[in-house]
Structure 1
Amino acid sequence: MTAIITIQQHYDQLDIKGCHTILAEPIKVAGTINLAKLAAQPDAWQVGIDEAGRGPLLGSVTVAAAILPADWSGLIEDAPLKNTPLSALTDSKKLSEKKRDLLYPQIQAEAVGFVIADIPAAVIDQLNILQATMTGMALVVETLMTTLLSQNTEVLNIQALFDGNRCPDLNENLLNHPRLTIDSQAWVKGDARHTSMAAASVLAKVYRDQTMIELAKRHPNYLIESHKGYPTKAHLQAIEKFGVLPEHRRSYRPVRLALERDLVN
């Protein structure tokens, strides 16, 4: 049996709220599952899910799911990560960029499994940012669970912990699977409260920042490396001077107004 399962999937069509939807661009999902660590897990375990990039005008929104070893998964205030390689882990917003960059590969190495979904700007425009985020949150959980079930895993009792105030609708076939039970929970500010959601928050944030740095190399005039797509003064000035990029979110007001101005002129 292979020790590490590599996950690489593209979704170009999905059922969203009961409707078959052909996506404007594919959603990419990637990650790994460590089967040796999985075998050491108890019957019940937790998946933390978080997102990064709902506010920017540019680029994808990123969603990540992370499963930490059972002894490491719990309330941050109870210090389950003390004396582990992830002892510095907390909500990504409370960490410096340097610390996040150091934790990113460590989380991937130490996790039982993780998945990251990249939902492009065109899909955000197609679905709206809330629905795009919920779709990504559902996808990372469903991809992890489907992969685990394909390995003839025994009955899985899962707590899916979603950062925020709502849970996505998961696939009915998965929810009714005889070898799987999923308890979905919404945790407000969960990434600052639970280690698994904190791990997911770092994975989502660093992955998205890396995509922004790559985009900055292709469009140096936009100073993307500094604002990461958020609507800063410098970013808005760049849009006004150099125009709207293909990766901009056209449904967001500053981008939409810039396109309208270009049509008038």
Structure 2
Amino acid sequence: MEKLSISAVKAEIKKIISPDDPRLAEFRQDSRKGVQQALTQWQKQQEKQAALAEKYHEMSVFENEKKSLGFKAICGIDEVGRGPLAGPVVAAAVILNEEHEILGLNDSKQLSAHKREELVAEIKKNARAIGIGEATAEEIDQLNIYQATKVAMQRAIDQLEIAPDCLLIDAMVLDNGLPQEKIIKGDARSVSIAAASIIAKVYRDEWMTRYGEKYPTYGFAKNAGYGTKEHLQAIETQGILPIHRKTFAPIKNL
């Protein structure tokens, strides 16, 4: 039987999903460097996937605990945009399907923009309901950022098509009477909160990019409203915009 070319072997290796696949034993007998490199790469990919699966299992502890208590619609909630000088604070609420596996979920700040975009698509496939809420710069100035964050979170909950019966919230408590748990660094410890973190981050970044097209001098597409050198220079030369938070330094000192 004619020996497969290295490219053909590589194509076969990519199709393998189980370490018990008999083709692996056959290919390990192939001394060609290209084949052995492909096997090494396959093994590393398997180890990476196993690590992601283990992390996902660890990040499902809070959800599994709530399920064991009888809760059926567990909602993860997180916000983005508490620190910027401009733009809204945005919150997302996510209720995941009963059976879900979205490997790679993590605190949105730890992920690349490309990875966040990929995960948003996966979250939407695996979610029973998603809600997004925001509080404007004006509301932030009126209420303070802490209270405005609560408002955005409650608005996100109110947008859900399914009423949650339990909340997992990143470092926050909401006065709405629902059973809930405040989880410090929840976006890195709970799959539901991580999913909400990513949804909120992508939504807000897109919002700031659109506003940046209207006011390109401020660099909103790159800085998302944070006080970068470019942004601060634009404030000094171009002035304050309606989406700027007037109670945040250095704007409040101008």
Alignment TM-score > 0.5, same fold: yes
Given residue 211 of structure 1, which amino acid in structure 2 is its aligned partner?
Answer: W
Summarize the alignment of residues 237-248 of structure 1 with structure 2, pairs less than 5 Å apart. Answer: 237-248=233-244
Query: Which protein shows a greater Rg?
Result: 2
Summarize the alignment of residues 56-135 of structure 1 with structure 2, pairs less than 5 Å apart. Answer: 56-72=84-100, 81=101, 86-135=102-151
For structure 2, the residue ranges without an aligned partner over 5 or more in a row are: 1-69
Deviation at 1:254, TM superposition (A): 1.1
| CA offsets 1:136-179 (integer angstroms, 9 cap, x no match) | 222322443xx536xxxxxx7x2200101x30111xxxx4xxxx
Contact 2:130-2:159 at 8 Å conserved across structures: no
Structure with greater strand percent: 1
- Could you say what secondary structure the match of 2:93 adopts? strand
Confirm whether residue 49 of structure 1 aligns to residue 77 of structure 2. yes
Matching residue within 163, 167, 177 for 1:160: 167
Q: Moved runs in structure 1, 4+ residues, more than 6 A?
A: none
Output the CA distance in 2 between the equivalents of 1:98 and 1:185.
Answer: 31
| CA offsets 1:205-263 (integer angstroms, 9 cap, x no match) | 000000010001000111111111001122111111111011101111211122xxxxx
Contact 2:95-2:129 at 8 Å conserved across structures: yes
Equivalent pairs counted in the alignment come to: 185
Given residue 69 of structure 1, which amino acid in structure 2 is its aligned partner?
Answer: N
Contact 1:63-1:116 at 8 Å conserved across structures: yes
Q: Percent of aligned positions with the same letter in both sequences?
A: 42
Output the CA distance in 1 between the equivalents of 2:116 and 2:232.
Answer: 27
Structure with greater helix percent: 2
Confirm whether residue 205 of structure 1 aligns to residue 195 of structure 2. no
Contact 1:48-1:65 at 8 Å conserved across structures: yes
- Could you say what secondary structure the match of 2:138 adopts? helix
Output the CA distance in 2 between the equivalents of 1:208 and 1:223.
Answer: 15
| TM-score, scaled to structure 2 | 0.69
Higher relative contact order (CA 8 A, sep 6+): 1
| TM-score, scaled to structure 1 | 0.66
Deviation at 1:43, TM superposition (A): 5.5
Deviation at 1:128, TM superposition (A): 0.8
